[in-house]
Amino acid sequence: MANRCLIDPTSLLRFDFGTHHPFKIHRLGLTYELIRAYGLIDRPDVYTLPPREATEDEAICFHSQGYLETLRVASSGMWVPNLFAHGLGTSDNPVFPDVYDWGMYVAGASIVCAEEILAGRASRAFNPAGGLHHAMPSRASGFCHINDIVLAIQTMVDTGKRVAYVDIDAHHGDGVQHAFYTSADVLTVSVHQTGYTIFPGTGFAEEIGQGPGEGMSVNVPLDPGAGDEAYERALDEVILPVVRAYAPDVLVTQLGSDAVVGDVVANLRMSLRQFERNVCAFRDLGLPWIALGGGGYDVSNVVRAWTLAWSVITEVELDDEIPPEWLTSAARYNVAISKLRGNIDRTPTDASVLEDLDRTISELRETVFPILGVTE
């Protein structure tokens, strides 16, 4: 029986970005409890593990020692003179109590997922706390202090694995792309709202990698209001063909839910049903698979999207009716959900969005497709 590993985020709920910060850590607890309420934890093919703290030796494969030391010292409450140079102490990347521990535990949890896959104990693993794709070697960025994705992927690359990384967060996965931009061992694919309209202002189709990594970075920027048809085309005409052509040993996905309609930060208007279809397509690739969380600033969307993701990972079809026992605990956070997949079957896509997407796909067919050996 193929086992599935789920990281239990309960020990991470003590951390807090602050009352007014859009990154709400309690979304992790609500997700875990909804997964439990649906009966998706107490199954013979499922086991849970707690996060562990990543070591400095593990983190140093991407992050600079100076940055890690600055983050550690600031985390203790001491004043540090060069905080801003490292992207710390800003409204996006606050220095809250034990922020170093937060980053390192999230990273350690994603490394645990990699270790479970490598050891053959799990064929699929999910860390909903992970997916912090913006953190750079010496700088916090976009609510991300430690780049757990890079550290997990590097863990697998160090054993000789070829990895395909697919990111459907509303924001470009710039930190992960940066880490592997010159590497042929990792294919990075990001579908996101165009950098002309949203942070971090990168992720254009011409960013295809350099040197040995040329053709290994694939970006599909989408215009605001993209809708489901745009995602279907990006999935069918770019993501799946390039991943299959690359033929990786392991698939890593970042499943940010901020692309779902109703998010307060982004405007891509993907339905929850399309989110579920995307995750089903990743599962059907039949690869060892690490799924990570990511962005999402409408808590009800986050909880539903990641519960759906875990149902796909465990191959259990869930009813749309939310278990009533979960609704009581969710009410403490003013979260009210009527249906798991929402009331929208499909969101529309404007013709102008598809015209721009056509141009992007045409460009990728001329640049990265030949390098990767994609046949149509």
| Model pLDDT, residue 111 | 98
pLDDT per position as a tens digit, 215-268: 999 999 999 999 999 999 999 999 999 999 999 999 999 999 999 999 999 999
pLDDT score for 375: 87
Identify the pLDDT of residue 273.
98
- 30-47: per-residue pLDDT in tens? 999 999 999 999 999 999
- Whether residue 134 lies in the annotated active site: yes
For the chain, the domain total comes to: 1
pLDDT tens digits along 181-208: 999 999 999 999 999 999 999 999 999 9
Question: Which tens digits make up the pLDDT trace of 306-331?
Answer: 999 999 999 999 999 999 999 998 99
User: What SS3 string covers the chain?
Assistant: CCCEEEECHHHHCCCCCCCCCCCCCHHHHHHHHHHHHCCCCCCCCEEEECCCCCCHHHHCCCCCHHHHHHHHHHHCCCCCCCCHHHCCCCCCCCCCCCHHHHHHHHHHHHHHHHHHHHCCCCCEEEECCCCCCCCECCECECCECCCHHHHHHHHHHCCCCCEEEEECCCCCCHHHHHHCCCCCCEEEEEEEECCCCCCCCCCCCCCCCCHHHCCCEEEEEECCCCHHHHHHHHHHHHHHHHHHHHCCCEEEEECCCCCECCCCCCCCCECHHHHHHHHHHHHHCCCCEEEECCCCCCHHHHHHHHHHHHHHHHCCCCCCECCHHHHHHHHHHCCCCCECCCCCCCCCCCHHHHHHHHHHHHHHHHHHHHHHCCCC
Per the residue annotation, which of 134, 145, 178, 192 is the catalytic one? 134
> Which band of pLDDT confidence, cut at 50, 70 and 90, is reported for residue 374?
very high
1 has pLDDT over 70: no
| pLDDT tens, position by position, 120-151 | 999 999 999 999 999 999 999 999 999 999 99
pLDDT value for 127: 99
Domain span at residue 270 reads 4-372
Residue 171 pLDDT greater than 90, yes or no: yes
Percent residues over pLDDT 70 in the chain: 99
Cα-to-chain-centroid distance, residue 91: 22
Residue 376 clears pLDDT 80, i.e. is over it = no
Residue 81's pLDDT band, with cuts at 50, 70 and 90, is confident
Residue 27 pLDDT more than 60? Answer: yes
pLDDT, tens digit (0-9, with 9 covering 90-100), for 144-168: 999 999 999 999 999 999 999 999 9
CATH number at residue 346: 3.40.800.20
Per-residue pLDDT, averaged over 320-345, amounts to 94
Once rounded to an integer, what is the mean pLDDT over residues 322-348?
94
pLDDT at 79: 86
Give the pLDDT score at 148: 99
Tell me what pLDDT residue 216 has: 98
pLDDT of residue 112: 98
pLDDT at residue 4 above 80? Answer: yes
pLDDT band at 95; cut points 50, 70, 90: very high
C-alpha span between 266 and 259 (Å, rounded): 6
Q: Binning pLDDT at 50, 70 and 90, where does residue 58 land? A: very high
Instruction: State the pLDDT at residue 75.
Output: 94
